[in-house]
Amino acid sequence: MSGTHAHTAAYVRDTMLPEQAPPATSVGVLGWMRANLFSNWFNAILTLLSVAFIYQVLAAILPWVFQSSWTANSLNECRAQIDAAYGPHAEGACWAVIRERYLQLIFGFYPSELYWRPILAFALTLAALGPVLFTALPRKMLWLSVAAPFLVPWLLWGGSAWVPVAVALGFVLGYVAFRVVASVAGALLGAIAAGLVPVLWWLLLASGWAGLMQSVLPLGIEAVDSRNFGGFMLSITIGVVAIACSLPIGVLLALGRQSNLLIIKAICTGFIELIRGVPLITLLFVASLLLNYFMPPGTDFDIILRVIIMVTLFASAYMAEVIRGGLAALPKGQYEAADALGLDYWKAQRLIIMPQALKISIPGIVSTFIGVFKDTTLVSIIGLLDPLGFSNSIRANAEWNGIVWELYGFIAFMFFVFCFSMSRYSMYLERKLQTEHR
Amino acid sequence: MKKSVILGALTVASLVAGGAAAATLDDVKARGKLNCGTNTGLVGFAAPDANGDWQGFDVAVCRAVAAAVLGDQSAVEFVPTTGKTRFTALASGEIDVLARNTTWTFSRDVDLKFTFIGVNYYDGQGFMVPKSLGVSSAKELDGATVCIQTGTTTELNLADFFRVNNISYEPVPIETNAEAQQQYLAGACDAYTTDASGLAATRATFEDPTAHVILPEIISKEPLGPLVRHGDDEWADIVRWTLNALIAAEEYGVTSANIDELAANPTSNPEINRLLGTEGNLGEMLGLPADWAVKAIKAGGNYGELFEKHIGENTPIGLARGLNAQWTDGGLMYAPPFR
């Protein structure tokens, strides 16, 4: 059979043709554009329209951004400089206000010789978050994560070094109480003791002990009043505390809401619905105004602390619902499997339920975080000078009155950097945990 | 940290509750600082400068009080307050005195239980329009759109004014002064109305201030003054007479330049001597050192000097003295005798 073909055909190619380069219209930049931008006439029109739109926007914004003045000392000087450099009627940004006030926008009224403290506190916070967020980092760094909650506030507010030690000691006492009581009288009493002992310590003995230690061995740094907090430092302080505290509280609330214990369930549901049913701004007004009326006159309950507590409660309620969504998405079989393995409630939650539920909830959790961080700007309404509040104060100087876009642009840029990083981290985490293949 | 502070605060709260009615003067002296409520930012009246120091006409009153009471004009903790939080802050004791361009009205004085200790600036509501509108009187504004800050007395004054003159207008509600400037410049409204001092400050920021005019009509009385809580008259006296000392100092020609000399060598004018504590015991009556007024005046200067420095005609705001001139110059500034 093999020979027949040679006789019937006049010519047979016995070598392969060399591969040819694909046509110029389907490779490289041209090919990409053809495939993605001009695949048919309708897409081509849309592409052209989009390009024209982008051009218009950039043509309006870019000259304004770059025909700017960085050196002036007032808005009028800015205008004069821009007119001199780019001709009359040139529109340009007066970035000089940012040059003059960026430290204020970042640190508020924090004493300038102590700027190293918030910077160190911020670095410490990042270093403490590192091992929690990225498993590749050395596990030894977790000790830093444990120490940071005590070190960071001490760095920010200053004062006696014995105060954070006293607070930390409360946790140690709680742990000791749990071990001792649990071994004698069972786990439930142990848990109660673990809750009660630290509270009693903090309430009755901690401040006295800290004062005593301070008088024996003075150790401390200059105290800074929270009144001096402002700008991004304030936003980040409120945001980080609210974010860090809202997740554990939210998990507990979500579990409480699903609990079979009637009272716990009622309390958790009531709390979540109450907080979620009220706008954050109302809670902030409660913190700044109503509490003032309830407390005895002359009470100096730190306003920033009040705000942090309110924002944390608010974030926790939302977090609880996000996590409840994750819990609800878990198949019932997972709960039954945990029961079948003979795990107790907390072990089942810790080993089986929560890892899966939190994994599902990541996008929701992170968007709650981003929302909370952005909501911190609402504190400007109750007179705290966060970046937005500060932009108003800066405008109240005769030199800078009338400046709007430059300040808002700078603030928006800073917020974007933080929120975008959070969003990218959540995407990294999702990829790493591959929730979509669950 | 957090918990300990809360719990600490609660403990302190219960301890303090008993002695809450203590005199403000003693509290301030014990604290070593005056807590002064001020604006979060109002051109000429209160604003933090590049170093974070508060400056302005209202701020100067706080500094004078701090200087009189504590002998140090920098011993002030400024508490920025908004229009919504200012009265609660004062009523709850968070601040000792509120100097935040607050209009002295009947209900605030009587119903809200505050004591206005005087007037440091007589303001009034005015209108600003573009010159191109061709309007020379507010009564010609029939049918105009007017930018107005919501929730303020200016809103009510505006309605009254147009009703009294039987003309119509369309309000464009806005939230902040900065927003108003943008809206007005963008042509969203024909006229912008707020306190005349605010109009002057706003106009000074425009690229071409000459293209806008402030109409002659002043449609409301806005006596702005510092205030304290009801019920502590000793403290009210201190703040009241500190302000009076500043005003009287201008009347008698006592300035920050010549005050050292006048205080060192008693003059032939007994009124000045009593004011500066070289004669009589006015300071003792207030429970303050004899040179309390010297310290207060040295903090920033007398009333006229403060006016010129923060809002006067040589500043970008460029306000004329007008009603705020001394009574001897046809104004309303009239300090009762120091006797």
Q: Name the residue of chain A whose CA is nearest to B315's CA.
A: A398
A174, A197, A221 — which closes off a domain? A221
Q: Is A207 within the bounds of a domain? A: yes
Same domain flag for A330 and A250 = yes
Range of the domain at B237: 28-120+225-329
Q: Two tokens at A25?
A: 């219209």
Same domain flag for B153 and B183 = yes
Same domain flag for B184 and B163 = yes
Beta strands in B153-306 (DSSP E): 169-174, 191-195, 212-214, 222-224, 227-229
A101, A123, A146 — which closes off a domain? A101
Question: pLDDT tens across B250-302, in order?
Answer: 999 999 999 999 999 888 899 999 999 998 999 999 999 999 999 999 999 99
CATH number at residue A330: 1.10.3720.10
> Is residue A292 within 8 Å of residue B92, measured between CB atoms?
yes
Query: How many angstroms from the chain centroid is the CA of residue A364?
Result: 13
CATH number at residue B96: 3.40.190.10
B159, B189, B221 — which closes off a domain? B221
Angle (deg, nearest 10), helices B233-251 and B292-300: 60
Query: How many angstroms from the chain centroid is the CA of residue A390?
Result: 21
According to DSSP, residue B122 is labeled E
Q: Is B318 within the bounds of a domain? A: yes
Q: How many domains does chain B have?
A: 2
d(CA B223, CA B228): 16
Same domain flag for B113 and B133 = no
Q: Is B13 within the bounds of a domain? A: no
The pLDDT score that the predictor gives to residue B307 is: 95
Task: Look at B47 and A396 and tell me if their CB atoms are within 8 Å.
Answer: yes
CB pairs under 8 A between A and B: 160
Q: Name the residue of chain B whose CA is nearest to A206's CA.
A: B4
Buried/exposed code over B99-137 (b: 16+ C-beta within 10 A; e: otherwise): bbbbbbeeeeeeeeebbbbbbbbbbbbbbbbbeeeebee
Task: Look at B40 and A392 and tell me if their CB atoms are within 8 Å.
Answer: yes
A188, A221, A254 — which closes off a domain? A221
Residue whose pair of structure tokens reads 């607070």 in the numeric block: A167
> Is residue B85 within 8 Å of residue A385, measured between CB atoms?
no
Contacts of A112 in chain B (CB under 8 A): 51-52
Cα angle A319-A321-A325, degrees, rounded to a multiple of 5: 115
Q: How many domains does chain A have?
A: 4
The pLDDT score that the predictor gives to residue A319 is: 94
| Residue segments in chain B with a per-residue pLDDT below the cut of 50 | 1-21
Most A CBs within 10 A among B3, B4, B35, B229, hence the mutation to make, goes to B4
Same domain flag for B101 and B172 = no
Phi/psi-derived region of residue A298, left when phi > 0, alpha when psi is between -120 and 50, beta in every other case: left
Same domain flag for B216 and B229 = no
Same domain flag for A301 and A395 = yes
For the four alpha carbons of B272, B275, B277 and B279, in that order, the dihedral sign comes to positive
The pLDDT score that the predictor gives to residue A401 is: 86
Range of the domain at A236: 226-432
Most B CBs within 10 A among A91, A162, A204, A299, hence the mutation to make, goes to A299
DSSP string, A286-309: IIIIIHHHHSPTT----HHHHHHH
Same domain flag for B186 and B301 = no
Same domain flag for A167 and A288 = no
Same domain flag for B277 and B316 = yes
d(CA A31, CA A390): 51
Q: Is B7 within the bounds of a domain? A: no
| Residue segments in chain A with a per-residue pLDDT below the cut of 50 | 1, 438
Same domain flag for B191 and B243 = no
DSSP string, B317-336: S----GGGSBGGGTSSB-PP
Same domain flag for A350 and A421 = yes
Same domain flag for A72 and A56 = no
The pLDDT score that the predictor gives to residue A435 is: 53
Same domain flag for A334 and A427 = yes
Q: Is A110 within the bounds of a domain? A: no
CA within 13 Å, CB half, B121: 30
d(CA B110, CA B224): 16
d(CA B74, CA A378): 30
Same domain flag for A253 and A354 = yes
Using the Cβ of B178 and the Cβ atoms of chain A, whether some distance falls under 8 Å is answered with yes
B172, B203, B221 — which closes off a domain? B221
d(CA A47, CA A103): 43
Same domain flag for A310 and A384 = yes
Same domain flag for A257 and A357 = yes
Task: Look at A393 and B47 and tell me if their CB atoms are within 8 Å.
Answer: yes
Q: Is B105 within the bounds of a domain? A: yes
Q: Where are the alpha helices (DSSP H) in B126-232?
A: 153-164, 177-185, 196-204
Q: Is A239 within the bounds of a domain? A: yes
**N-to-C CA span, chain A:** 56
Same domain flag for B112 and B146 = no
Contacts of A249 in chain B (CB under 8 A): none
Contacts of A155 in chain B (CB under 8 A): none
According to DSSP, residue A379 is labeled G
Task: Look at A398 and B20 and tell me if their CB atoms are within 8 Å.
Answer: no
CA within 13 Å, CB half, A272: 26
Q: Please tell me the distance in Å from A438's CA to the nearest CA on chain B.
A: 39
Q: Two tokens at A401?
A: 């009155």
Please count the helices (runs of H) and the strands (runs of E) in chain A.
Answer: 20, 2
Task: Look at A402 and B11 and tell me if their CB atoms are within 8 Å.
Answer: no
The pLDDT score that the predictor gives to residue A118 is: 93
Q: Is A428 within the bounds of a domain? A: yes
Same domain flag for A52 and A93 = no
Give B236's contacts (C-beta < 8 A, 6+ positions apart).
Answer: B115, B117, B228
Angle (deg, nearest 10), helices B233-251 and B24-31: 80
Q: Is B20 within the bounds of a domain? A: no
Residue whose pair of structure tokens reads 């003791």 in the numeric block: A193
Using the Cβ of B85 and the Cβ atoms of chain A, whether some distance falls under 8 Å is answered with yes
Task: Look at B1 and A157 and tell me if their CB atoms are within 8 Å.
Answer: yes
Selecting from B1, B85, B206 the residue whose C-beta is nearest the C-beta of A288 gives B85
Q: Two tokens at B299?
A: 């903090």
Same domain flag for B40 and B102 = yes
The pLDDT score that the predictor gives to residue A299 is: 64
The pLDDT score that the predictor gives to residue A6 is: 53
Q: Is B148 helix (H, G, I), strand (E, B) or coil?
A: strand
Q: Is A3 within the bounds of a domain? A: no
Residue whose pair of structure tokens reads 């590749």 in the numeric block: A136
Angle (deg, nearest 10), helices A96-107 and A231-257: 50
pTM (2 decimals)? 0.84
Same domain flag for B99 and B195 = no
Same domain flag for A235 and A357 = yes
d(CA B338, CA B329): 20
Same domain flag for A280 and A291 = yes
Question: pLDDT tens across A299-357, in order?
Answer: 667 888 889 999 999 999 999 999 999 999 999 999 999 999 999 888 899 999 998 99
The pLDDT score that the predictor gives to residue A437 is: 52
The pLDDT score that the predictor gives to residue B8 is: 45
> Is residue A424 within 8 Å of residue A118, measured between CB atoms?
no
B169, B203, B221 — which closes off a domain? B221
Number of neighbours of residue A95 by Cβ within 10 angstroms = 20
Give B225's contacts (C-beta < 8 A, 6+ positions apart).
Answer: B102, B104, B116, B117, B118, B119, B120, B121, B243
Could you tell me whether strands A220-221 and B34-39 are parallel, antiparallel, or unpaired per DSSP bridges?
unpaired
Q: Is B339 within the bounds of a domain? A: no
Buried/exposed code over A330-348 (b: 16+ C-beta within 10 A; e: otherwise): beeeeeeebeeeebeeeeb
The pLDDT score that the predictor gives to residue B13 is: 42
The pLDDT score that the predictor gives to residue A5 is: 56
Using the Cβ of B181 and the Cβ atoms of chain A, whether some distance falls under 8 Å is answered with yes
Selecting from B5, B9, B315 the residue whose C-beta is nearest the C-beta of A398 gives B315
Q: What is the CA radius of gyration of chain B?
A: 22
B107-166 residues touching A, CB cutoff 8 A: none
Q: Is A129 within the bounds of a domain? A: no
